[in-house]
Amino acid sequence: MSLTADLDTLKAYVGARSAQDDQLLADRLEAATHAVYYVVYTDDQAMASVQEAILLTASKLYKRRQSPEGVAGFGLEGAAVRIVATDPDVGALLERHIDYSPGHAGIA
CA distance 71 to 79: 10
CA distance 98 to 104: 8
Ranges assigned E (strand) in the chain: 71-74, 80-82
CA distance 14 to 16: 6
The pLDDT value given to residue 73: 62
pTM of the model: 0.81
CA distance 61 to 33: 12
Condensed to tens digits (0 to 9), the pLDDT of residues 56-98 reads: 999 999 887 766 565 566 667 766 665 666 788 999 999 999 9
- Residue spans of the domains in the chain: they are 7-94
Condensed to tens digits (0 to 9), the pLDDT of residues 22-60 reads: 999 999 999 999 999 999 999 999 999 999 999 999 999
The pLDDT value given to residue 102: 82
